[in-house]
Amino acid sequence: MELTVLGSGTVAPTPERTAAAHWVDAPPVKLLLDCGAGTLHRAATFGIPWAEATHVAITHFHQDHWGELGMYLFALRWGIEPPRSAPLTLIGPRGMRTRLTLLAGAYGDWVLEPGFPLEIREVSPGESVSLAGDVELEACKTPHTTESLAYAVRTGGLRLVYTGDTGPSEELARWAAGCDLLLAECSLPDERAIELHLTPSRAGALARDAGARRLVLTHFYPVFGQTDPAAIARSEFDGEIVAATDGDRFTVGE
């Protein structure tokens, strides 16, 4: 299972970081985890076969996590030749179908009828969805918005956990237990901490409490400047820590 960080940033634009987007290659599944602004152009830059995603999973309805989903569907129809014909499954919290229906009202019927079979799958906390082959997607509630979810991708005895956006949560730590790679949001420095997001120390503590094998930090606001979030997270977690930049690739389990 391979993870590519497409966007390690947030809603705040910087040249280095676009909004949340992560690509997981877990044969036979190609999964886009969140689809914030910049996803498609970053995927093109890094040589990711974006048009071949089998599934897109959205953690919550903040714009920096799903604002480019409409553009993604548009690109599958008009951005490639020939247009896509393979089925695609969109996964998200409850309310996903209603919101996509509203988007279709604004953008056009192609949102729900893009010219290929489109399945919308709403998931609830605690649910597990079989994607394809032995690949499973599990969901856990996070304290961020009423609908926000963390996801775990499980295949071949390996487990990748992506927190989406979250505040500190013991429930999340228990659910993430023993994961091979914890991809954790790290929105704000410790001195700017708010309840609804993690900081380097909080992300490190989450990795420690979960017994994660490796911690990859993502989703940085520009306020971090030149400071190294990984160095601060190290005060809480002994394992390997990487502060991701756009384009970083990781093999889960190595």
Contact 96, 85 (CB under 8 A): no
Distance CA 17, CA 19 (A): 7
Angle formed by the axes of helices 96-107 and 69-78, nearest 10°: 60
**Minimum CB separation from Zn ion for residue 217, in Å?**
13
Is 213 a binding residue for Zn ion by CB under 5 A? The answer is: no
Is 165 a binding residue for Zn ion by CB under 5 A? The answer is: yes
Distance CA 171, CA 94 (A): 20
- Give CA separation, 36 vs 9, 33, 70, 85, 212, in Å: 9, 10, 10, 24, 26
**Minimum CB separation from Zn ion for residue 231, in Å?**
23
**Minimum CB separation from Zn ion for residue 134, in Å?**
30
Q: Which range in 77-85, 117-125, 132-140, 165-173 contacts Zn ion by CB under 5 A?
A: 165-173
Is 154 a binding residue for Zn ion by CB under 5 A? The answer is: no
Q: Which range in 66-74, 107-115, 161-169, 199-207 contacts Zn ion by CB under 5 A?
A: 161-169
Residues 16-75 that bind Zn ion (CB under 5 A): 62, 64
The rounded Cα 245 to chain-centroid distance in angstroms is: 14
**Minimum CB separation from Zn ion for residue 219, in Å?**
6
Return the number of the residue (62 or 214) whose C-beta is nearest Zn ion. 62
**Minimum CB separation from Zn ion for residue 17, in Å?**
12
Task: Quickly list DSSP for 139-166.
Answer: EEE-SSSSS-EEEEEEETTEEEEE--S-
Task: Quickly list DSSP for 5-47.
Answer: EEE---SS--SS--SSEEEEEETTEEEEEEE-TTHHHHHHHTT
Return the number of the residue (68 or 165) whose C-beta is nearest Zn ion. 165
Contact 185, 151 (CB under 8 A): no
Q: Which range in 85-93, 103-111, 158-166, 236-244 contacts Zn ion by CB under 5 A?
A: 158-166
Q: How many residues bind Zn ion (CB under 5 A)?
A: 3
Is 138 a binding residue for Zn ion by CB under 5 A? The answer is: no
Return the number of the residue (144 or 214) whose C-beta is nearest Zn ion. 144
Q: How far apart are the first and last CA of the chain?
A: 10
Which residues of this chain interact with Zn ion, rule CB under 5 A?
62, 64, 165
